[in-house]
Amino acid sequence: MSCEDGDCPHKWHYAPHRSLYGALELGRGLAVARLRRQPQRAGLVYRCCSRDTRWDWQIDSRSTYLARLLRDLHLDVAPLIAQLYACGPYRAWPESDPHDEDNQFDLTVGVLTTLARAGDGQAREALHRYVHNGVRWIDALTALAVEWPVEWWDDLWETAAMRVEVGDAARLWPSDHPWSWWRGRDARLDGVLRAAARSRSSGRVRRTSLSDASDADLIALLQSMNTDPAAMGLALGQIRHRGRPIPELLDLVERVAPARPAGLFGALRTLGPQILPHARAWAADADHPLFRDAPHLLAEQGDEQDIAVLFAALDQLGDEWCGYDVLSEGLARILATAPPAAYADAKAMLIRRLRLMTVASPHSYERASYLRSLLLLDEERTTAVLPIHLFDCEPSVRLLAARHTPLTEDARSWLAELRDDPIEEADVRLAAAERLPA
């Protein structure tokens, strides 16, 4: 599960999680506390900004974490601005820009937009300038429209109207900001937005038509031998979106599962407890296409008889990192309500695993789940370490810590920081304020 010994196929691996740099790569609050005591080592933050060390670039968080470190340690953002300009045009996988192989562009834009939101004028001006003359200006502008108030980016419309080309249409989402906000201001820009709307219309029509379909229609679509995996995914997505059980779906699992369509797991979750006997059978059949997915269903609905299966599923994950949250939450739920004497060894084993994952997993998105499970299984020891998690990279972890940390002297000081910090998420600031005396 680790690359720390270097015995791995990767050309790059994480630093040991016990080291300062390793903790920084993983986005742990411990690294923040150590750097505050050792500001002479602040240069490590630049190293973490030079490549995206998140396990999953789409859902793991680092922007607020790194931006706060840069600000609080008084580090110049000039190296990040240079990194922004060093990246070339976007290239779809498997091609890559050699200056953006490690997602430097998106990471840099995220950090700079966050710094600007917290009042850093240099970061704000740099991003404005990049929209005027940067090669990936559309990507940067899209990020600004998501992260900033309208008045901060509205003056860029003339630049966008001048720079946008018909060939850019496929990269635009005309119903989203900033494009929807600017529609009608410039004929040339409107033409590109119409082309963008046409390029996305077919998929939108199909989804709309399925939203009007009855449950029976969706089942019939899944039954059809002519339905391709993409269409299956749309039908299953509708079932998941409706959130109500459609028992007939169980009769189609053997036909649908081998195609591995997107949305199947979410659709099966809507069946609730009635999925249990089927999930147990799938989990016991190594040749079944849902063999690896079934334990996740058992984690949500299972009981004491599923403990061994859930532990086996954790073992099968190996070094994949993703997926521990659902399985461990299920185990924690079951063990927390089971007779303590009957499962003392299992409980101790899970606690050890969760503690390791909390400090060693690069998949920071799951960290809040590990802490929630530990609060169920080992409340006293877990609560004692919550103050350091107020500096975590994940807003969900900071929120959990803000709500449950014991009010030590350090915790009070750090909660006051979060409460008053414009860089922080609104719900974290509110939770911090609620914990402190008026």
Which pLDDT tens digit goes with each residue over 128-185? 999 999 999 999 999 999 999 999 999 999 999 999 999 999 889 999 999 999 999 9
Q: How far apart are CA 144 and CA 130, in angstroms?
A: 11
Would the pLDDT of 10 be above 80?
Answer: no
Q: What is the pLDDT of residues 255-292, one digit of tens each?
A: 888 888 888 989 999 999 999 999 999 999 999 999 99
Q: How far apart are CA 127 and CA 112, in angstroms?
A: 8
Across residues 426-432, what is the average pLDDT?
A: 97
Would the pLDDT of 435 be above 70?
Answer: yes
Would the pLDDT of 4 be above 90?
Answer: no
Query: What per-residue confidence (pLDDT) applies to 96?
Result: 82
Q: What is the pLDDT of residues 291-324, one digit of tens each?
A: 999 999 999 999 999 999 999 999 988 778 888 9
Across residues 78-97, what is the average pLDDT?
A: 89
Confidence at 199, pLDDT banded by 50, 70, 90 = confident
Would the pLDDT of 3 be above 80?
Answer: no
Query: What per-residue confidence (pLDDT) applies to 205?
Result: 44
Tokens representing 158?
A: 């003339």
Query: What per-residue confidence (pLDDT) applies to 393?
Result: 98
Query: What per-residue confidence (pLDDT) applies to 230?
Result: 82
Please provide the average confidence, as pLDDT, over all residues in the chain: 92
Tokens representing 67?
A: 């931006």
Query: What per-residue confidence (pLDDT) applies to 232?
Result: 87
Would the pLDDT of 394 be above 90?
Answer: yes
Q: What is the pLDDT of residues 38-81, one digit of tens each?
A: 999 999 999 999 999 999 999 999 999 999 999 999 999 999 99
Confidence at 13, pLDDT banded by 50, 70, 90 = confident
Query: What per-residue confidence (pLDDT) applies to 1?
Result: 44
Q: What is the pLDDT of residues 23-34, one digit of tens each?
A: 999 999 999 999
| CB-based contacts of 257, cutoff 8 Å, min separation 6 | 264, 288, 289, 290
What is the percent of the chain where pLDDT is above 90? 78
Instruction: State CA 230 to chain mean position distance.
Output: 24
Stretch among 88-102, 339-353, 363-377 having the lowest mean pLDDT: 88-102
Looking at beta carbons, which pairs linking 310-318 to residues 24 or more positions away fall under 8 Å? 310/334, 311/346, 311/349, 311/350, 313/283, 314/353, 316/292, 318/1
Confidence at 342, pLDDT banded by 50, 70, 90 = confident
CB-CB contact of 68 with 423 (8 Å):
yes
Query: What per-residue confidence (pLDDT) applies to 5?
Result: 54
